[in-house]
Structure 1
Amino acid sequence: MAAVPVIPRSTCRLFGAIKALGTMKNTVILVHGPKGCVYHITYILGMRGDHPPRIYSTCLDEQDVIFGAERKLAGAIEELDCTLSPDLIAVLSCCASDIIGEDVASAVSSASVSARTLAVDSGGFEGDHPGGYHDTLAAIASALAGSSGTVDPCRVNLLGVLRSGPDLSEMKRLLSSVGVRTGAVFTAGSGPGDFARAGDAALNLVLCETSGLGAAEVLRDRFGTPFRIVDLPVGRPATDRFLSSVLEALGRTYDPPPAIPAPPSLPGRLRIALFSGPARAVAFSEFLSGLHCPPRLVILDLMPPSPERIRQAAGPDSEILIMPASREIEDHLDRAGINLILGGLLERPFAVSRNIPSIDVMHASQVTFGYGGEENLVRRIREAASRMVLD
């Protein structure tokens, strides 16, 4: 079969594993592979504004590839433990170490260290970054989660949250406002000490099914904790539904705050393309539709668990593209007359080449959850609309 060249719009399993571990507290990440893997992922995370952690590499060279480097790996683990005194050392394989058959798990178990250790199979060619998210969170739930033996009826864990920042803070505030305590977050801002009581939660909230469902199933099987897949609270109606769903699962009733006027509709001539993963695609499509400005295009970077949910949220006049090639995206942007892009950094070239504005809603730099998030999003979209020249 002839090879078909493509411009990739997704990355490898190793990236997903590093992203899942990268915002954990007092955690060291060690990649058993060539230095280029770590350099380029760190560079990408820095460009995205993710404040990447210090990610270490064993820097495999030609001799290591020929003769093996498991002793080198064990020594590197011990050196990091001695010099940094972390709570957790996460050791990741990559394409090179997997191809030459390095037994990373064995090297990890042979190292003499004080820190907790976690071996993650993350060879890039074995899958894509969503698989890295999913498997890393499931591995953490399996290896690090514990319980005191007493369930707190007002405590929930958040699963599938990989970014610290304003949205995570707002979600914790929203839950606290209705008397619900946030336990462990898988994984942003958490550490082994937080996971040690993950089994004490009365409920696990899966905020991203792609990354968090596997961990939820592990915690259910280990501790009997039920889980609920919830939509992200983008906009006022979605925020009320989110809180109502959480309290219902905990056997309580939600008392919504007094109604306040809805924000005015967005300019009717906006033609928005939304680039997103499945969880945000549902939330933002419903938010935009509620402001009488549904997205004309929704471009998904991975296969959604439920494409129909996204179609319902976006409405009948929206076109859904699932994992399209770059040329297909270009054609649909032009055909739909898109004049505003909501997405991330990867979408900026599409906006620049068309001289249209783009808003980054993917990388947690500004709040998008809750009532305050709605005000922020409406303001930013209106500011973008005021700068554009509409047909």
Structure 2
Amino acid sequence: MSTLIEQPRYSCALGATQSVIAIKRAMPILHSGPGCGTKINSIIGQVKGYGGANSMPCTNTSEAEVVFGGEEKLKGVIEGAFKVIDADLFVVLTGCTSDIVGDDIGSVTGVFQAQDEPVVFAETGGFKSNNYVSHDKVVIAIIDQYVDKFANDKTTLKGLVNVFVTPPYQDPYWDGNLEEIKRLLEGIGLTANVLFGSASSGLEEWKTIPRAEFNIVVSAWSGLAVAEHLERKYGTPFFHFPYLPIGGAETTKFLNGVSEFANLEPARTAAFIQKEEKRFYAHFERLAEFLLEFKYGIPRRFYTLLDASYALGIARYLLNELGIIPAKQYIVDNTPEEYQEAIKAQFARISDFRSAEVAFSVDGGAIQEEIRRDDHKNRALILGSSWESKLAQDIGADLLVLSVPITYRLVLTCGYAGYNGGLRLAEDIYDRVLETYR
């Protein structure tokens, strides 16, 4: 019996193009059908980096390549890309057709690698996984086929850390989040390789990955495969914080955890946290009067339709610092089963007094129907995607769009991580609430 999945919130494995585009001066080369890249871009949206959208080279595989193989065509496209595209790294990504046919992509790229050309490959046939899984796969491919060439000097750089968060563009606020996490880590005395986006120095930063003192994973599960690979490959330990730290309490917890793991100077960490908390809670004091005045006209409970990292971070912040009660929480990132119990355990103890019911589902339509059938005596807040606009209207809820697809908002520097992100999230939530009183 076939099952129809409505409104999935992730793409196929080829969506890892977003990960390449987020690296400064890196260019994906697609060995796929002509429509694959366009469809990926339309699902995720706002992917217009150095080589994004319709500017990506592609072999445009057709029936001829299915019958005779596409290795020669790929070779020609790579040679052409070297001639006309000014990039520092090229990453060949495969689509379904080439993976089904069995093209030997490694042998094609291997010829260029032997000539010291900056090209790597990853098999990302859409049927193999989703873009969360293939993000890790592409990062590992770049490390093994490109970064490792620069690992002759294995001297550890004191205080250097590699940071792995959610996949770029799949998280619409990835760039702002990385900027804030880098700022926080530098505040307690570390040097952070964030690897992607405007806060990164690009491939020069990637080349120092093997020399990091340790790695930091800020995610429920995405990025763990990379950290585990680096631990095996270079012996680099890693610190895992299983959700996005948002607001005062969780950001402080994150920084204290990193500081203890790295054996940093406690006085410096404490001084930085004290300074940041003082500023954060000064703004919260101004918020308190508003919350008291509008206590009967603001959301009393919330639903999330987010990936695991965001759902956990959001739930802890909204409950413990804004006082909004969690309704059912929906995780929509197709979380692998081996991570689900740990995530459920986190929701079971999101505060000392409350737990939250959580469901793992990739069917946006089914989730929306379940929320519609819920009791709506109190005003609700929905944290999801643009697809929840009609749902919010139907049940009289407020909506903040935090996940793809995000079609009604332009995102540049906005991020919700850290102290600054917590303030921004409070502003954005209550801005939408007040908008309804016009």
Residue 275 of structure 1: which of 305, 309, 334 is its match? Answer: 305
Match of 2:192 in 1: 182
Q: How many aligned residue pairs are there? A: 386
Structure 2 contact 161–212 (Cα < 8 Å) conserved: yes
Write out per-residue CA displacement over residues 86-112 of structure 1, whole angstroms, 9 at most, x where no aligned residue: 221111111111122222222222348
Match of 1:308 in 2: 345
Match of 1:126 in 2: 128
Mapped partners of 1:332, 1:57: distance in 2: 41
1:121, distance to aligned residue in structure 2 (A): 0.7
Structure 1 contact 159–205 (Cα < 8 Å) conserved: yes
Larger relative contact order (Cα-Cα within 8 Å, sequence gap ≥ 6) = 2
Mapped partners of 1:379, 1:10: distance in 2: 25
Structure 1 contact 203–227 (Cα < 8 Å) conserved: yes
Write out per-residue CA displacement over residues 298-353 of structure 1, whole angstroms, 9 at most, x where no aligned residue: 11012262221133227746331211533431233121437321123343443355
Range 14-23 or range 279-288, more displaced: 14-23
Mapped partners of 1:4, 1:180: distance in 2: 49
Write out per-residue CA displacement over residues 131-153 of structure 1, whole angstroms, 9 at most, x where no aligned residue: 21222222233333344322122
Match of 1:38 in 2: 37
Structure 2 contact 178–194 (Cα < 8 Å) conserved: no
Structure 2 residue 246 is the aligned partner of structure 1 residue 225: no
Structure 2 contact 23–195 (Cα < 8 Å) conserved: no
Match of 1:100 in 2: 101
1:354, distance to aligned residue in structure 2 (A): 4.4
Structure 2 residue 274 is the aligned partner of structure 1 residue 257: yes
Mapped partners of 2:386, 2:106: distance in 1: 35
Range 281-290 or range 376-385, more displaced: 376-385
Write out per-residue CA displacement over residues 209-268 of structure 1, whole angstroms, 9 at most, x where no aligned residue: 432111111111122111011142200111111111111111122313155447256546
Mapped partners of 2:431, 2:86: distance in 1: 47
Match of 2:408 in 1: none
Instruction: Output the TM-score relative to the length of structure 1.
Output: 0.89
1:386, distance to aligned residue in structure 2 (A): 2.2
Structure 2 contact 6–363 (Cα < 8 Å) conserved: yes
1:286, distance to aligned residue in structure 2 (A): 0.6
Write out per-residue CA displacement over residues 158-216 of structure 1, whole angstroms, 9 at most, x where no aligned residue: 01343352221111111112221112526885643322111111110011243211111
Match of 1:152 in 2: 157
Residue 241 of structure 1: which of 245, 253, 261 is its match? Answer: 253
Mapped partners of 1:199, 1:294: distance in 2: 43
1:297, distance to aligned residue in structure 2 (A): 2.4
Q: Helix, strand or coil: the match of 1:86?
A: coil
Match of 1:329 in 2: 367
Write out per-residue CA displacement over residues 55-94 of structure 1, whole angstroms, 9 at most, x where no aligned residue: 2211112222222221010110111012113221111111
1:278, distance to aligned residue in structure 2 (A): 1.2
Structure 2 residue 385 is the aligned partner of structure 1 residue 375: no
Match of 1:203 in 2: 214
Residue 299 of structure 1: which of 330, 334, 342 is its match? Answer: 330
**Percentage of identical aligned residues:** 24
Match of 2:381 in 1: 340
Instruction: Output the TM-score relative to the length of structure 2.
Output: 0.80
Mapped partners of 2:435, 2:86: distance in 1: 51
Match of 1:91 in 2: 92
Structure 1 contact 199–223 (Cα < 8 Å) conserved: yes
Structure 2 residue 170 is the aligned partner of structure 1 residue 168: no
Structure 2 contact 6–366 (Cα < 8 Å) conserved: no
Paired letter, 2:164: L
Residues 77 and 341 (structure 1), Cα distance of their counterparts in 2 relative to 1, 3 Å cut:
same
Structure 1 contact 161–185 (Cα < 8 Å) conserved: no
Match of 2:407 in 1: none
Match of 2:25 in 1: 26
Structure 2 contact 91–122 (Cα < 8 Å) conserved: yes
Mapped partners of 2:38, 2:137: distance in 1: 23
Paired letter, 2:369: D
Match of 1:357 in 2: 398
Q: Helix, strand or coil: the match of 1:244?
A: helix
Residues 186 and 29 (structure 1), Cα distance of their counterparts in 2 relative to 1, 3 Å cut:
same
Q: Helix, strand or coil: the match of 2:98?
A: helix
Mapped partners of 2:91, 2:138: distance in 1: 10
Q: Helix, strand or coil: the match of 1:157?
A: strand
Structure 2 residue 75 is the aligned partner of structure 1 residue 58: no
Range 229-238 or range 262-271, more displaced: 262-271
1:355, distance to aligned residue in structure 2 (A): 5.4
Mapped partners of 1:271, 1:50: distance in 2: 33
| Structure 2: stretches of 5+ with no match in the other structure | 169-173, 405-410
Mapped partners of 2:391, 2:56: distance in 1: 31
Paired letter, 2:89: L
Q: Helix, strand or coil: the match of 1:124?
A: coil
The Cα RMSD (Å) is 2.6
Paired letter, 2:419: Y
Mapped partners of 2:166, 2:5: distance in 1: 30
